[in-house]
Amino acid sequence: MSNQGVSPEEIRQFHCAQNFVKDNELIFRNALLQSFMQSQEHWALLEESLRCPSSDATRILDKKFKEHFSEISLISLLSNEIRRFAIRYDQRYRRNTKRQMLILDRPRYHDSQVTTWMELIPSKKSLEQEAFQTEERLENRVENPIIHKAINELTARQKFILEAAYIHECTDTEIAQIDGVSQQTISKTRKKALQNIYSFLQREGE
């Protein structure tokens, strides 16, 4: 089992949890469980729940796992929406570019000189490229009307962090460096934004 977020030294302190994971190795090969166990907090909760099953740790661990599952599901949903947008944008861009080239490559006759319309256009961003800058907004990259509405309910800062994470594929650490705050602050805000979207979808019955 891979634990990229927790070092082997940190795991060693959780003896019961470590043995439990080893005894259930096949189950813990599941990608969802592996991502869940990349948190030292989750290892600590598992350790406490195994040592004292009647403690609050078991309830908290269950709650944390449900929250993690919701977050992963929502990330997958957003990623699929963004991926579909990218595919459609590429198809539209290629189609429009081909049509524009057919028009712009036509000869233009003026004062006995033959040029193409393309030669008269100054070098600058195409309208498609400029449109793409607008469509980089997260809400403009989803077609599901309920998700679109949920994103519009977020704060500008929450949108910025989600756009950086899921459109520009920045890590929490990279976003923190840009924003001048800690990685923990970015992670907390990103998860809160995802939770807000999830709660909105739950209310709307998505």
On whether the CB atoms of residues 104 and 118 are closer than 8 A, the answer is yes
Q: Which of 77, 1, 12 is nearest to 36 (CA)?
A: 1
Pull the structure tokens for residue 170: 């920045």
Give the number of C-alpha atoms closer than 13 A to the C-alpha of residue 95, restricted to the C-beta side: 6
Residue 125: its pLDDT value, please? 42
Query: What's this model's pTM, rounded to 2 decimal places?
Result: 0.53
Number of neighbours of residue 187 by Cβ within 10 angstroms: 17
Residue 114: its pLDDT value, please? 45
May I ask the CATH class of domain 68-204?
mainly alpha
Number of H helices, E strands in the chain: 10, 2
Higher-confidence residue of 176 and 84: namely: 176
User: How many angstroms separate the CA atoms of 86 and 141, rounded?
Assistant: 8
18-73 confidence digits (pLDDT tens): 999 999 999 998 888 988 998 889 999 999 999 988 778 899 999 889 888 888 88
Low-confidence winner among 47-56, 85-94, 130-139, 143-152 (lowest mean pLDDT) = 130-139
Q: Which residue ranges make up each domain of the chain?
A: 8-54, 68-204
7 CB burial (10 A radius; 0-12, 13-18, 19+): exposed
144-197 confidence digits (pLDDT tens): 788 888 888 989 888 888 888 888 888 889 999 888 889 989 988 988 888 888
Question: What confidence category does residue 205 fall into, taking pLDDT thresholds of 50, 70 and 90?
Answer: low
On whether the CB atoms of residues 55 and 20 are closer than 8 A, the answer is no
Q: To which residue do tokens 């520009």 refer?
A: 168
Q: Which of 20, 63, 27, 26 is nearest to 43 (CA)?
A: 20
Question: What confidence category does residue 10 fall into, taking pLDDT thresholds of 50, 70 and 90?
Answer: confident
